[in-house]
A = this chain, B = another copy of it.
Amino acid sequence: MRAAIANSGLLRVGEVDDPVPGSGEALVRVAACGICGSDLHALRHGDRMVEQGREAGLPTMFDPHRDHIMGHEFCAEVVELGPDTQGSPVAPGDLVTSIPIALTATGIEPIGAYSNTWNGGYAELMRLSAAMCVKVPNGLDHRRAALTEPMAVGRHAVGKAALQPRDTAVVLGCGPVGLATIAELRHRGVETIVAPDYSARRRATATAMGASEVVDPRTEPAIDAWRRVTGGLQPLVTFEAIGVPGLLDEAMKAAPPQSRIVVVGVCMETDSIHPFVGISKELNLQFVLGYDPFEFLDTLRVIAEGEVDVTPLVTGVCGIDGVPDAFAALDDPEEHVKILVEPGGPATVASLAL
């Protein structure tokens, strides 16, 4: 099969052996797989990621200097079920998705980035744990279904914010994670959602996803826009969805006393903060990561039932041969929000409105 292979910060496309489904596994044909900011991180900062994980006392088997296949935001069609898949919730021909975790006899394995298991969505075929697969309901198309995973990240971040009635939100950064956060805030009934971004395109997408006020921070800082809109006396939760050094400190300085900051943007660098600012305002910082299986399932339901429209997120599509081009294109926030890889698609990124 054709696959995009990552190794030591580089991506190449080539032919590799087809995977063979093992015990409990389904062989699936990838219909669409979104490119995640964390893939760009893992490709470019893999060594730092491993080193920081080790310093934090986390187990990792990921070696960025071995060939690996990334891609964990997938929707796929079941080709065949391997041995020991009796009672599987899915059958050949089903369009499915799954959290990107494989159950194996020796433990759990991440699918896609941070893994050397040769099993990711930037390929024609993948192996999934049949027991983890979920049928895509309601005739939802494969492109929207592939957005379940990134949307679940926003859902989880908002869940961790422990929202109270009357809470208002500032979402710093309108990349896919910020946009998923905005959509979930709106889905939960938060009315005031202020979203700054330098990119006009991303600001427009933020509005489409439910932001009540978008600003270019060069013209008006987000906190000023929040004050203008709310009068400055309502409870605020700030979501830091950028992950660049200095932004957390900035968010802490801007935050009103007693407010919460949810850190969902992945900053791989050492960052500087002023603890006195946090102390003097009794800020709460909640770092968040991922989602749980129930959040993932319910996110799929929310999309399939049309409670949240993910259409504005997808801005481009490419084939496996286009993956390196797509990674480069995602560096320009004016150009794209989310690019989906569809095996068999074009060798360069085609712009798309769903």
Residues of chain A touching chain B, judged by Cβ–Cβ distance below 8 Å, are 49, 52-53, 55-58, 160, 243, 248, 252-254, 257, 263-264, 266-268, 270-289
Contacts and interface: CB of A to CB of B under 8 A. Distances in A.
A54 to B, nearest CB: 10
B276 A52 contact: yes
B267 A276 contact: yes
A277 B56 contact: yes
A115 to B, nearest CB: 15
A243 to B, nearest CB: 7
17 contacts: A49-B276, A52-B277, A52-B280, A53-B276, A53-B280, A56-B274, A58-B280, A58-B281, A248-B275, A267-B279, A271-B275, A272-B273, A275-B287, A278-B287, A279-B287, A280-B289, A282-B286
Contacts of A284: 284-287
Contact of A276 (B266, B272, B280, B282): B266
Contacts of A58: 257, 280-281
Q: Can you tell how many copies of this chain the complex includes?
A: 2
Contacts of A280: 52-53, 56, 58, 289
Contact of A275 (B252, B253, B267): B267
A276 B56 CA distance: 9
B273 A271 contact: yes
B275 A279 contact: no
B289 A282 contact: yes
Q: Which 7 A-B pairs have the closest CB atoms?
A: A278-B287, A267-B275, A285-B285, A56-B277, A279-B287, A52-B276, A279-B289
Nearest to A275: B267
A248 to B, nearest CB: 6
Contacts of A278: 263, 285, 287
A263 B53 CA distance: 23
A39 B145 CA distance: 58
A337 to B, nearest CB: 22
A195 B254 CA distance: 34
Specify which of A49, A56, A263, A275 lies most central, judged by the most chain B CB atoms within 10 Å of its CB: A275
Contacts of A273: 270-273
Given A266-B276, A270-B272, A288 B282 contact: yes
Contact of A287 (B57, B254, B268, B281): B281
A185 to B, nearest CB: 19
A162 to B, nearest CB: 10
Contacts of A288: 279, 282
A223 to B, nearest CB: 9
A287 B349 CA distance: 45
A236 to B, nearest CB: 13
Nearest to A257: B58
Given A52-B274, A52-B280, A282-B288, 19 more contacts: A49-B276, A55-B274, A58-B280, A263-B275, A264-B279, A266-B276, A266-B279, A267-B275, A267-B276, A271-B272, A271-B273, A272-B272, A272-B273, A273-B273, A280-B289, A282-B286, A284-B284, A284-B287, A285-B286
A252 B277 CA distance: 18
A282 B56 contact: no
Nearest to A160: B282
Contact of A270 (B160, B254, B274): B274
